[in-house]
Structures are given as C-alpha cells and as structure tokens.
Structure 1
Amino acid sequence: MAIKPAQGDAYSLILEAIDVGVYRPGDRLVESELAERFGVSRTPIREALQRLETQALLTRDGRSLIVASLDHNQLAELYIVRAELEALAARLAARHANPEEVRVLQDMISDDRKYLGDPQALSRANRRFHHQIHLASHNRFLVQQLDLVHRSMALLATTSLAAEGRDEDSLAEHDAIVRAIAARDEGKAGDALRTHISKAFITRLKLDAVRDEDHI
C-alpha cells in the first residue's frame, strides 16, 4: 500500500502510515525504505523517526526502530485518560458548539452508515467524528492533548469496530452524544461520551482475550 508524498511533512506521513495500518506494532522502520516510499530525503525521515521515538510511538529493538505496542496496563491507562478528556470535550461542545458544528456532527452520523460492514473505513470516519467534537469544544489546549492521545491510539493493531455488532452500536452511541450536545445538556453529553469509550474498551478487551487464547 503506497502512501502518496503529497501534503504533509515526513513526520505526518509516517504517523498517517502507522494510523492506517501500513506499519503495525512490531514492524521495523528503515530510513532508506521510508525515504523511497514517501519521496523525501533521509534527513527529514531521520528527524521524524527521532520525534516519534521521543513520543514513544516507536521503540528500539537492538539498533532498529520498530512501531511500539501497548501492553494491558498501558492500554487501560490510555483508555482512562481518553475517556475523561473526551467527556470534557463533549461537555464543552454542548456549551460552545455553534449550530453549524452541531449540524456537521449530525450529518457525519448519517453519512457514516454507509461504512457499516467496513471496519477500517468506519474507524477512519470514527476518528473524524471524534475530532469534530474536539474542535467543537473550542478549547485549543484540550484539542492538543486529545491529539496526543489519538496518536497513541494508532498503536492499536485492530479496531474495536471489527467486533460483530459494534459498528451499529457505535453509531447509536454517536447519535446519543450529538443529541445531548444539540440539547446543550453538558452532563448528559459527557456521560454519553464516557460510556461510549467504556464500551469500546470492553469490546477491545474481549477481542484481545480471544486473540490471546488463540495463541495459547
């Protein structure tokens, strides 16, 4: 799967490649191969790799850099932080979102139904939906922190939306979140988003349990 070297710097291109699954946890990243794939020189690739290592998205395996993976405790810590920050974003969106932003969120839910049955496409749509809520919070510092959290989410090898029935449930949960935002109900919006993240975490734990059982 080739990545077009169009918009974005080397860091953004590598991050996007990890996010869409071109590079998965445990994959080795080689400067020369990345430079050829993205059509850039090795210097910006080297700088991007150093930045990604600093952010713990890459880790060392001997002299090689590989895409990091999350253990059970790290996964739990990530979801705890994500749930609280996302809930805050929903509460602030209920307070600050303008009618146009609410309409965009409503349209996203309707449009995303076409991705049912396609976990990867729905996962990308899911990220766009959550990012729109982040923006609707109108709090730049919160958006920055959530961007960091979602970068770490790229280290998850699979999407919880691949679980049977999770796609329909997720869209229903999105609808509940947006209804609360539209109603300016801050408490309900925050609770709905926190519940949404909790259910996604439960689904992921079940998927991981099945995967681990298959490797016993």
Structure 2
Amino acid sequence: MKPAPQDAYGLILDAIDNGTYQPGDRLVENELAERFGVSRTPIREALQRLETQSLLTRDGRSLIVASLDHNQLAELYAVRAELEGLAARLAAKHASEEEVRVLRQMVEEDRALLNDPAALSRANRRFHKQVHLASHNRYLVQQLDLVHRSMALLATTSLAVEGRGEDALAEHESIVSAIGAGDGDAAYEALRAHISKAFETRLKHDSGRDPAL
C-alpha cells in the first residue's frame, strides 16, 4: 500500500534522521516521489516546509540537506540544554508513577544496546522524548520537537565515541532518579549536565582529538 500524501514530510524527515540523506546530499523531487511512492505535489510541499524549517538549504537551484557550522551547533546545544532542563524540572513535578517507571525501564533496556551506537542513538531519542512528554507541557514539547529535528542534521552520534554510551546511560539514570524523587532542581541540573557532556564529546570527536584527553 502506498503511503498517504500527507506522509511525504514525515518520510523525508525520517530519511534525514536515519542517515539515508546526510548533510550536503541533494534532494530531487522526482527521485523522492519514486523512492517513497508518493506523487510529486506532496513531495514539493514537504520540501518547501523543510526548507522553511532550515533543514534544507539552496545550492544554486538545488535543495540540499543543510549542515550546521560550529556556531550553529553551539547555539543548538545551548537552546537544547535549557529546554530539556526545563522539561526535566517540570517532569519532576508532573510525571506520573507510571511515566517514571517507563523511564527507568528504558534505561535498563538500553544497556543491551551499548555495542550498537545506531540503535542506542534511536533509544536515546525515545528516552528524551519520554522526558519531554512527562513535562506535561504541550508548548515545550512542540519547541523540543523543532530542536530535535535540527539534531537530525548531525551526520554522526556522540554515542559512537568509545565509553560515551555507558556514561550517557549513567547520566540518564541520574535524571530519572531526580525526576522520580520530585526534585526539580536536581533534574534540571542533571539533564543540562548530560547535554553539556554530549556537546563536549561531539566537539572533541569532530576536532579529531581523543575524547579522553
């Protein structure tokens, strides 16, 4: 069964998110229509929407997947740290017992993925999304969705760096403990520190330095 036309945006976004299309790749309307089995009109509309969201950029007459320079990356992580920290603070106040249990289960189950950075990266996004939802603030969730769409422009995951997966799960555990304890300040600080460490790891990895140094 062919995807519904309204799915064109999501299909292209998922393809960017999973690395099928990476920063610098050119997106051609008729090729996308053929790949996804969707007519060209919804593909064209989806491309326009992605360009408006700065996920695509112009290279002459072509649309390519955007990339982030150093300043954009720093700006993105700064906003992400503050918004995710706020989500954790609100989750500590509003999360149900069931939501906290789900977060704990995620951390435990994700330990089985430590040798698979790609799978761990997907699990990491699910964990963060669950924290966002546990904030019970729809406007914050919407803004974080936009931030995480921009994260799809990063061609690699910091979780691929040796040892980062174990550290990230330990940080997730601290975040969940603070949320479960209803300690908003601790949850905020734990999540901000987690994002800061991820950014630091990425900077060292991208510069070619040993992250252990």
Same structural fold, with TM-score higher than 0.5 when normalized by the shorter chain: yes
CA 1:67–1:92: 2 relative to 1, 3 Å: same
Query: What TM-score do you get using the length of structure 1 for normalisation?
Result: 0.94
- Runs of 4+ in structure 1 deviating by more than 4 angstroms, as ranges, are 4-8
Of 104, 107, 120, the match for 1:106: 104
What letter corresponds to residue 206 of structure 2 in structure 1?
D
Query: Alpha-carbon deviations, 1:10-29, whole Å to 9, x = none?
Result: 00110010001000000000
Deviation at 1:53, TM superposition (A): 0.4
Aligned to 2:67: 69
SS of equivalent to 1:23: coil
Deviation at 1:171, TM superposition (A): 0.3
Aligned to 2:119: 121
Whole-Å Cα distance in 1 between the matches of residues 13 and 161 of structure 2?
25
- 8 A contact 1:173–1:196 mirrored in 2: yes
Aligned to 2:153: 155
What letter corresponds to residue 120 of structure 2 in structure 1?
L
Whole-Å Cα distance in 1 between the matches of residues 198 and 186 of structure 2?
18
In structure 2, the gaps of 5 or more residues are none
- 8 A contact 2:95–2:134 mirrored in 1: yes
> How many aligned residue pairs are there?
208
CA 1:99–1:6: 2 relative to 1, 3 Å: farther
Q: RMSD of the alignment, in Å? A: 1.3
Deviation at 1:42, TM superposition (A): 0.4
In structure 1, the gaps of 5 or more residues are 212-216
Deviation at 1:6, TM superposition (A): 4.7
Query: Alpha-carbon deviations, 1:158-216, whole Å to 9, x = none?
Result: 000010100000000000000000000000000000000000000000011018xxxxx
What letter corresponds to residue 89 of structure 1 in structure 2?
A
Whole-Å Cα distance in 2 between the matches of residues 27 and 154 of structure 1?
13
Aligned to 2:163: 165
What letter corresponds to residue 192 of structure 1 in structure 2?
A
Of 58, 77, 80, the match for 2:78: 80
- 8 A contact 1:13–1:38 mirrored in 2: yes
What is the percent sequence identity of the aligned residues? 77
What letter corresponds to residue 146 of structure 2 in structure 1?
L
Deviation at 1:117, TM superposition (A): 1.3
Whole-Å Cα distance in 2 between the matches of residues 111 and 47 of structure 1?
39
Query: What TM-score do you get using the length of structure 2 for normalisation?
Result: 0.95
Query: Alpha-carbon deviations, 1:138-163, whole Å to 9, x = none?
Result: 00000000000000000001000010
Deviation at 1:114, TM superposition (A): 1.2
Query: Alpha-carbon deviations, 1:37-96, whole Å to 9, x = none?
Result: 111100000000000001100000111100000000000000000000000000000000
